[in-house]
């Protein structure tokens, strides 16, 4: 209970001075992480959090379910239509290339872990999350279309990667067992994915239809609609678990099915589920602070630093630049989209789930996953959180120079 008091007290303190702290790029995730590090360090820490229990695994899955549902419903249809070519290149071309490159890098740096563990490294570290550089979404120095593309990419790619993560996790769990165990584990994982899709459709589509008709008929009120929406990801999660499927993937599918009907609901109908997801995610950032403490107090493997650095830079930048070749975007636009691939909450949640699942039977693999996840997110907080401001200034200056050249060319003296 002390962890709840301290973490929420930290959030409240940040809320009091958020405007001033924003000048130094101290966002809520940064503040919660710093508090988690400070309060869990040392031989007699003020706060102790157990991460290897089934209750912890269930709590992390529920948080992920709410976040994936929110991501799926928060994708603007207008942006998808207007920027479908760029988004297709990022999600259909760049994302698989990034996964493949991350897998190859993991295999080269950790050869004893095998291909499944290497692929698990990639699926944990690939999802983009704008939390480490959240201010860029409101930074008017960047064009609205570019901010919208980054928002949609970060909202969809974690849901796309989630099935890959489950398959890789099943492969690692079965590694070292009998030859038929890997195949059995993969078939079980595929079955869980199918049940998850079914549960998501059964909850999301009827849920959206019923809420929309009830609202249009005048049978309900805005506050009740907001509560009904919050119930959907939890319902999808629970139904998937009952059927033997993946709860958080069911929530993502439910969000996709619900999204078309959500546009007919009252304004700000999604605000409650969004705020709930934000609050839960900040609690996880506090937990991440303890993971940072653990990463530097145990048997630290220096190779995870190289993996995290390359995953954030080369293995994000090169696939994005290759996928955007011939897209018609300017060089500055392509470079900015390639660089702005921060890692955050999705990586933390996937890493935590992998750690909790693998710790009993594969402790070494679990420790490596925890260290890779921790270093990748920690370096992203520093790299993307501190560089997006100067990059936005550079981008705005370059755009002004280009516009000035075009005006002079169009109006020769």
Domain that holds residue 357: 34-400
| pLDDT value for 290 | 80
Residue 9 lies in a domain: no
The C-alpha angle with vertex 373 and arms to 370 and 374, in degrees rounded to 5, equals: 80
Q: Does any domain span residue 4?
A: no
Q: What predicted TM-score, i.e. pTM, was given to this entire model?
A: 0.86
107 lies in a domain? yes
Position 38 in a domain: yes
CATH of the domain at 348: 1.20.1530
Q: Give the model's pLDDT for residue 105.
A: 94
User: Using CA atoms, how far apart are residues 278 and 286, in angstroms rounded to an integer?
Assistant: 13
User: Residue 67, class by beta-carbon neighbours within 10 Å (0-12 exposed, 13-18 middle, 19+ buried)?
Assistant: buried
Q: In the numeric block, which tokens belong to residue 274?
A: 């969004």
| 262, two tokens | 């959500």
Per the structure, the count of domains in the chain is: 1
Q: If we measure between CA atoms, which residue out of 296, 50, 109, 85 comes closest to residue 101?
A: 109
Buried b / exposed e over 216-248, threshold 16 CB at 10 Å, is eeeebeeeebbebbbebbbbbbbbbbebebbbb
74 is written with which tokens? Answer: 């928060």
Give pLDDT tens digits along the chain (413 positions).
676 777 778 778 877 877 777 666 667 777 788 888 887 776 777 777 766 666 777 888 888 899 889 888 877 777 788 888 999 999 999 999 999 999 999 999 999 888 999 999 999 999 988 766 666 667 777 788 888 888 888 888 888 998 999 899 988 888 755 445 667 777 888 888 899 999 999 999 999 999 999 999 999 999 999 999 999 999 999 999 999 988 889 999 999 999 989 888 888 888 899 888 888 888 888 888 888 887 777 678 889 999 999 999 999 999 999 999 988 888 888 988 898 888 888 899 899 889 888 888 888 888 899 899 999 998 988 888 777 777 777 777 877 776 666 556 555 54
Query: Does a structural domain hold residue 7?
Result: no
Is residue 348 included in any domain, yes or no?
A: yes
Angle at 78 between CA 159 and CA 333, to 5 degrees: 75
**264 in any annotated domain:** yes
From first CA to last CA, the distance across the chain in angstroms is 73
The answer as to whether 29 is a domain residue is no
Quote the pLDDT of residue 238: 94
**How much is the pLDDT for 309?**
94
Residue 89 gets which letter from DSSP?
Answer: I
Closest CA to 85 of 311, 333, 254: 333
């Amino acid at each position: 209970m002390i962890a709840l008091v301290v973490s929420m007290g930290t959030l409240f303190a940040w809320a009091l001075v958020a405007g001033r702290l924003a000048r130094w790029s101290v966002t809520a995730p940064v503040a919660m992480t710093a508090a988690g590090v400070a309060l869990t360090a040392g031989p007699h820490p003020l706060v102790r959090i157990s991460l290897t229990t089934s209750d912890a695994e269930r709590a992390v899955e529920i948080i992920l379910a709410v976040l994936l549902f929110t991501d799926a419903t928060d994708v603007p249809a207008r942006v998808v239509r207007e920027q479908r070519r760029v988004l297709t290149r990022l999600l259909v071309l760049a994302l698989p290339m990034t996964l493949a490159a991350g897998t190859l890098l993991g295999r080269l740096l950790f050869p004893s872990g095998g291909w499944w563990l290497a692929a698990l490294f990639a699926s944990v570290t690939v999802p983009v999350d704008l939390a480490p550089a959240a201010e860029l979404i409101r930074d008017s120095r960047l064009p609205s279309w570019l901010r919208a593309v980054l928002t949609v990419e970060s909202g969809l790619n974690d849901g796309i990667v989630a099935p890959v993560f489950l398959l890789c996790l099943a492969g690692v769990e079965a590694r070292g067992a009998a030859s038929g165990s890997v195949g059995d584990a993969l078939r079980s994982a595929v079955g869980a994915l199918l049940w998850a899709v079914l549960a998501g459709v059964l909850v999301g589509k009827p849920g959206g239809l019923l809420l929309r008709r009830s609202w249009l008929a005048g049978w309900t009120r805005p506050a009740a609609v907001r509560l009904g929406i919050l119930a959907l990801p939890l319902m999808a999660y629970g139904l998937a678990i009952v059927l033997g499927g993946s709860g958080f993937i069911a929530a993502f599918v439910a969000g996709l099915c619900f999204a078309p009907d959500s546009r007919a609901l009252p304004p700000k109908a999604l605000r409650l589920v969004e705020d709930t997801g934000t609050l839960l995610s900040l609690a996880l950032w506090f937990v991440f602070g303890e993971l940072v403490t653990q990463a530097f107090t145990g048997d630290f493997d220096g190779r995870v630093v190289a993996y995290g650095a390359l995953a954030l830079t080369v293995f994000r930048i090169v696939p994005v630049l290759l996928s955007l070749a011939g897209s018609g975007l300017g060089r500055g636009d392509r470079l900015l989209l390639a660089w702005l691939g921060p890692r955050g909450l999705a990586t933390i949640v996937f890493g935590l789930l992998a750690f909790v699942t693998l710790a009993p039977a594969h402790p070494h693999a679990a420790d490596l996953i925890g260290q890779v996840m921790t270093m990748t997110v920690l370096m992203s907080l520093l790299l993307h959180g501190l560089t997006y401001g100067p990059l936005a200034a550079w981008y705005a200056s370059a755009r002004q120079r280009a516009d000035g050249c075009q005006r002079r060319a169009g109006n020769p003296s």
